[in-house]
Amino acid sequence: MHNRAAAATNDGVGHCRTDRMHAAMNRRALRLLPPLALLVCGLALAADPAKILRVASPDIETLDPQQYSDSPSFDVLVAIFEPLYEWDYLHSPPRLSPVTAAGPLEITDGGKTWTMRVKRGIFFTDDPAFKGKPRELVAADYVYSYKRWLDPNLRRGGTPIITDLIVGARPVVDAARADSKFDYDRPIEGLRALDRYTVQIRLSELNYPNIEDMIGFVGAAAREVVEAAGGDIRTRAVGTGPYRLREWKRGSRIMLEANPGYRQVRFPESNDPAHAALMRSMQGKVFPQAGVVEVNIIDEDITRLLQFEQGGLDYIVLRAEVATRLLVDNKLKPEYAARGITRHVYPEPYLFSFYFNMADPVLGGMTNERIALRRAIALAMDTETLVKVVYAGQALPANQLVPPGVGGHDPELPFKPLYDPVAARALLDRFGYKNFDAEGYRKAPDGRALTLAMTLRSGAISREIQTLVKKSMDAVGLRMDFHVTPFQDAIKELEKGKYQMYFGGWGGSPSGYPELLQLYSKQPQRVNVSQFKFGEYDRVAEQFLRSATDAERIVAARKMSELARTYMPELPGIFRLENDFVQPWLLGFRPPVFATYWKYLDIDLARRK
């Protein structure tokens, strides 16, 4: 999963979920839609170059589909690189529907064998590596791309959980780590192309969430292109998707243009009466309709809002106080409604937390005094003001690790705020942080000066968070310092362990496993940025992944939240509410909960003028 930019990735990234580990295997196929990517024969290319979809995003790091770790990068690259399946645009609870797959998943052997067939006649966009010949997408491309996903030497650091799941993957990955080079020609028993168009994954044990996300998020890259680029395809984005890269001016904008060889698709189907009008409005169209996607790199929300109000953006995603500028009594202001602007609001599938670096010499470790320090910081943190003031009510207090609408979330768990500065002061006194310097700040138990540092991404809301955190820590005698840096720089520092405290988000899956497994010791540091290692937590995390029902997953998730609260490697802060504001000329829009679906959007040029 990915960081949501605090924004995590904007700060960091809501949704309904499905019972993904259903015991009855024959019901799994029924949960998958028929192929959405229906080939439309005899029709002209739908995309109109005059239809330019204009969106805004924080800056991105890469367009490599196996090396991203932030949601802004993923939001763009998913329009270029296609996974076998996608989380359905309209269905709730979410379910997988075919993209490049020829049909539904075939899950056999009690859930341990997954067989997928690639649709014939899908081609990559042109690249010199193909030497002027059309390059068809085949099963081997997904096998290669999944191996890259497992590669411990790439930026993501591999995926230890999936490595242990796929039969025969662990020795290949361990050899790659030892040699600092992955042997992509070495067979993996449980990851094979059975023939030109058939991919099969064999697992050592049940685990629906991780494998569903891999086949639903990881796009196919062509090995020839990767090797011709020396392994660096950050800007050499050659996929099979509805769009291809035209231009990328770092820090300014990204221009995508419709893939002229893309198979045309129909708008997704839904039996939900709430979608009836939307489906009627898109009936008979083939997609993509927009010939160009213009991604404007804009970090500041207020700048996005101003550009949207001037008609320069077709939709915007706003959070916190800036979103309320379009609202009165939490409803769209009449002047915006009169212009035909619409609002969609929902909790994001991301958890925003205060992270503690467990390897830090000042507040890390599992000694009683260090645990007490982190717990005191948690008790001192005024999360109620964080919700009501900093986020202007556009957030929910986080009472657990799993967001609402995501598998493992416990809707019955009451919110019991930790905030108790009196208890925080008493805890600090009890565990040796009782002496003060001349400025009234506490010293460490050994008498040394004590300063805590928090990393925040640059932006207006981070300034408000900084003010709140300083006030909260001042109230209990803890000195705070702040390191404010651009989002991508903050992520790089996290991945290298170069931080002490951090506020940001993580998640983005219909299952709660990304949030929960951030604290799993086998995860790479890119994921487990707290560097938390605790055997009991690991055992419960593995129980969560093996659970066959949502009730069992909730029990496991509750225990993990309790352990996190006890040892405090991270303090759950908020579940953000995302506000999507949409111009009247943008057609086909639904909130992009798990990914961007630009291919399903259309623009009424007459209304835009």
223 and 361 within one domain: no
User: Are 545 and 210 in contact, with CB atoms under 8 Å apart?
Assistant: yes
Please indicate, yes or no, if residue 54 is contained in any of the structural domains: no
Q: What is the pTM of this model?
A: 0.82
Other residues' Cβ atoms within 10 Å of the Cβ of residue 481: 11
Please indicate, yes or no, if residue 312 is contained in any of the structural domains: yes
Please state the φ and ψ torsions of residue 37, each to the nearest 5 degrees: -80, 70
Please indicate, yes or no, if residue 159 is contained in any of the structural domains: yes
- For 452-510, how does the pLDDT look when each residue is reduced to its tens digit (9 = 90+)? 999 999 877 899 999 999 999 999 999 999 999 998 899 889 989 999 999 999 998 88
In DSSP notation, 235-297 reads S----SSSEEEEEEETTTEEEEEE-TTPPPBPPPP---GGGHHHHHHHTT--B--EEEEEEEE
Question: Which residues are 118's β-sheet partners?
Answer: 101
598 and 533 within one domain: no
Please indicate, yes or no, if residue 56 is contained in any of the structural domains: no
Q: How far is CA 99 from CA 118, 263, 278, 346, 522, in A?
A: 9, 11, 21, 26, 31
Quote the pLDDT of residue 37: 37
218 and 70 within one domain: yes
Quote the pLDDT of residue 43: 40
Domain containing residue 493: CATH number: 3.10.105.10
Residue ranges in the chain modelled with pLDDT below 70: 1-45
Please state the φ and ψ torsions of residue 608, each to the nearest 5 degrees: -70, -30
313 and 415 within one domain: no
Domain containing residue 209: CATH number: 3.40.190.10
Q: How far is CA 253 from CA 50, 113, 257, in A?
A: 18, 43, 13
Quote the pLDDT of residue 25: 34
431 and 552 within one domain: yes
Please indicate, yes or no, if residue 325 is contained in any of the structural domains: yes
Quote the pLDDT of residue 257: 98
Sheet containing strand 106-108, edge to edge, reads 106-108, 113-117, 198-202, 191-195
Please indicate, yes or no, if residue 33 is contained in any of the structural domains: no
Domain limits at 590?
243-345+583-608
Q: How far is CA 356 from CA 74, 419, 532, 533, in A?
A: 26, 17, 9, 13
Please indicate, yes or no, if residue 414 is contained in any of the structural domains: yes
Quote the pLDDT of residue 186: 98
506 and 415 within one domain: yes
Quote the pLDDT of residue 22: 35
Tokens of 550: 């949502």
Say how far apart CA 375 and CA 417 lie, in whole Å: 13
135 and 82 within one domain: yes
136 and 273 within one domain: no
398 and 517 within one domain: yes
452 and 398 within one domain: yes
256 and 217 within one domain: no
Say how far apart CA 284 and CA 31 lie, in whole Å: 25
Number of domains in the chain: 3
Q: Position of tokens 């550009």?
A: 307
Quote the pLDDT of residue 1: 60
- For 98-125, how does the pLDDT look when each residue is reduced to its tens digit (9 = 90+)? 999 999 999 999 999 999 999 999 999 9
Please indicate, yes or no, if residue 276 is contained in any of the structural domains: yes
129 and 102 within one domain: yes
User: Are 243 and 80 in contact, with CB atoms under 8 Å apart?
Assistant: yes
Quote the pLDDT of residue 29: 38
